């Protein structure tokens, strides 16, 4: 069994951001947010999972606050009214530093990972299938928002997923890179392994390459290599 292809990612979206989740939230959907926490835009940012574009119904409000030592507030808003707060008295983000934030939806809760480490779980207070919109506000700069269906595939079968190679260029001294050329997104959804491609312009200081994919449950190892080749 293979899961259907997920929707295309949002690349370098402007904050405040609001975008549709195609097909709404589903059991097994993983949403990955890559960005950098800014110094200059306040002391908070928020990721919200909405029912529609209105902020009256928010199934999951994830709100890191760089105050009082740092903590994260989670909540649900129904018909314009907030429920009881859940606070995690730990701050996994650092101002000025990039992060990877992942939300995995399952039948009972949202599982949240930060920089590859499990951070918390938030039980559903409203049916998650009503959620069809994602918004992000506050002191962050975003580089990537991706969507991926997760699951278990039988041995020797390949998952259907989307691979994105996103290169960002910056000049020396820039704290936050500004794209000079548009990111390269391959048009198809699966690629044979091993996969080879050229790096436009080669590697140099401050150039970043992001690769998104799925690791098979049967895998024993995975890796990537950058090779130097000479043209003739």
Q: Would the pTM count as exceeding 0.95?
A: no
Query: Smallest Cα–Cα separation from 59: which of 89, 21, 14, 9?
Result: 21
Instruction: Calculate the alpha carbon distances from 156 to 1, 124, 219 in Å.
Output: 12, 35, 10
Per-residue pLDDT at 53: 87
Cβ-proximal residues to 29 (8 Å cutoff; 6+ apart), any chain: 6, 21, 104, 105, 147, 148, 149, 150
The beta-strand segments (E) located in 150-190 are: 165-168
SS3 of residue 76 by DSSP = strand
The per-residue pLDDT for 164 is 43
Rg of the chain over CA atoms, in angstroms? Answer: 19
For each of the chain's 232 residues, which pLDDT tens digit applies? 334 446 999 999 999 999 999 999 999 999 999 999 998 878 999 999 999 888 999 999 999 999 999 999 999 999 999 999 999 999 999 999 999 999 999 999 999 999 999 999 999 999 999 999 999 999 999 999 999 987 533 333 344 333 444 434 444 444 434 443 344 444 444 566 777 776 766 676 656 676 767 777 666 677 667 666 554 4
pLDDT at 150: 79
DSSP characters for 132-164?
A: -EEEEEESEEEEEEEEEE-----TTPPPP----
User: Distance (Å, rounded) from C-alpha 173 to C-alpha 150?
Assistant: 39
For the four alpha carbons of 19, 23, 24 and 25, in that order, the dihedral sign comes to negative
Per-residue confidence (pLDDT) for residue 3, from 0 to 100: 42
Domains and CATH numbers, the chain: 10-157 (2.60.120.200)
Residue 178 is predicted with a pLDDT of: 42
């Amino acid at each position: 069994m293979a899961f259907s292809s997920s929707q295309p990612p949002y690349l370098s979206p402007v904050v405040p951001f609001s975008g549709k989740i195609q097909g709404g939230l589903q059991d097994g959907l993983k949403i990955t947010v890559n960005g950098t926490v800014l110094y200059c835009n306040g002391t908070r940012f928020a990721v919200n999972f909405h029912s529609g574009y209105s902020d009256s119904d928010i199934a999951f409000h994830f709100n890191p606050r760089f105050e009082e030592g740092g903590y994260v507030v989670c909540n649900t808003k129904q018909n314009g009214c907030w429920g009881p707060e859940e606070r995690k008295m730990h701050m996994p983000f650092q101002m000025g530093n990039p992060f990877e934030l992942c939300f995995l939806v399952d039948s009972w809760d949202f599982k949240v990972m930060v920089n590859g480490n499990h951070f918390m779980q938030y039980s559903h207070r409203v049916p998650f299938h009503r959620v069809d919109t994602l918004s992000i506000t506050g002191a962050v700069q975003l580089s990537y928002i991706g969507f991926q269906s997760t699951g278990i595939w039988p041995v020797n079968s390949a998952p259907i997923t989307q691979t994105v190679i996103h290169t960002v260029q910056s000049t020396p001294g820039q704290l936050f890179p500004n794209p000079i050329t548009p990111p390269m997104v391959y048009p198809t959804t699966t690629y044979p392994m091993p996969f080879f491609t050229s790096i436009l312009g080669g590697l140099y200081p401050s150039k970043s390459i992001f690769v998104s994919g799925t690791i098979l449950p049967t895998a024993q190892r995975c890796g990537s290599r950058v090779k130097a080749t000479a043209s003739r």
